[in-house]
């Protein structure tokens, strides 16, 4: 079966409401005839602004993270209920910046994954190795642990709401990109792993995005690989002149 390409923009901690509105409007207009699936994930403070602009378009609304509890005394956190109230459809969980800068472990990420699914959100689960892990020959082992622990307790019926994003940490924001071949090896490994956990059909169906310095000039080569089903784009997602060519790659 053919999986559809899924191009997501993670805006990280950038933009004011006015800037976000301008970018969202431009994307709605420039991607309206795009053939792939699209998503933007703005900062929490921008979600309401962006929501009103992408509503009814072919661009899904995402959040970059969420709390592991539904509500309560969690100062500075944002709950799944609050995200749903704003129209958020998808949440990015386990991003390498959350794992490494904010020390989120697999158990916490797994709790968030299950909570998001319980509330009907799609999850983009990020996995990927550090440079020293890759150099030590542990890239596959690291990705396996993150996938297995991230999806622990997730039933096969919920897998349709899971997207996996492979982001080699050493290629995020560094300008280094895994070669399409390097990336495809890990994507193939993750797909095979999903097959072991959930069966061959599930493995065939699951969308696995690549994240890590995706740019207009390498998007098509990455997407041409058999197991790469889209991109989770960081820096290049902040401007139409870099995001649109990735989103519309031929």
As given in the structure block, the two tokens for residue 145 are 């642990």
As given in the structure block, the two tokens for residue 180 are 């399409």
Tell me how far apart the alpha carbons of residues 86 and 149 are, in angstroms, rounded to a whole number: 29
208: left (phi over 0), alpha (psi -120 to 50) or beta: beta
Closest CA to 42 of 69, 71, 21: 21
Whether 36 is catalytic is no
Tell me how far apart the alpha carbons of residues 179 and 166 are, in angstroms, rounded to a whole number: 13
CA distances, 87 to each of 40, 63, 113, 119, 232 (Å): 13, 10, 18, 12, 20
Tell me how far apart the alpha carbons of residues 206 and 149 are, in angstroms, rounded to a whole number: 17
Catalytic annotation, pick one of 36, 104, 167, 187: 167
Residue 1 per-residue DSSP state = -
Helix, strand, coil % over all residues of the chain, rounded to 5? 45, 15, 40
Whether 135 is catalytic is no
Rounded (5°) CA angle 61-65-70: 100
Catalytic annotation, pick one of 95, 97, 122, 187: 95
Beta bridge partners of 8: 39, 232
Catalytic annotation, residues: 95, 167
């Amino acid at each position: 079966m053919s999986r559809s390409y899924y191009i997501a923009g993670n805006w990280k901690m950038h933009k004011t409401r006015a800037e976000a509105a301008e970018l969202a409007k431009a994307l709605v207009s420039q991607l309206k005839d795009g053939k792939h699936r699209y998503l933007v994930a703005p900062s929490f403070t921008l979600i309401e602004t962006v929501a009103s602009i992408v509503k009814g378009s072919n661009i899904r609304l995402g959040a970059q993270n969420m709390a592991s509890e539904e509500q309560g005394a969690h100062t500075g956190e944002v709950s799944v209920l609050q995200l749903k109230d704003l129209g958020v459809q998808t949440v990015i969980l386990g991003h390498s910046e959350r794992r490494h800068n904010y020390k989120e472990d697999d158990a916490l990420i797994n709790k968030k994954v299950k909570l998001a699914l319980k509330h009907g959100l799609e999850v983009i689960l990020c996995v990927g190795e550090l440079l020293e892990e890759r150099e030590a020959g542990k890239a596959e082992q690291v990705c396996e642990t993150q996938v297995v622990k991230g999806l622990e307790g997730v039933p096969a019926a919920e897998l349709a709401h899971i997207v996996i994003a492979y982001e080699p940490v050493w290629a995020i924001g560094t300008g280094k990109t895994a070669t399409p071949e390097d990336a495809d090896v890990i994507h193939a490994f993750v797909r095979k792993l999903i097959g072991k956990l959930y069966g061959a059909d599930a493995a065939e169906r699951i969308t696995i995005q690549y994240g890590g310095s995706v740019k207009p000039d390498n998007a098509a080569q990455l997407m041409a690989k058999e197991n790469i089903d889209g991109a989770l784009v960081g820096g290049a997602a902040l401007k139409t002149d870099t995001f649109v060519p990735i989103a519309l790659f031929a």
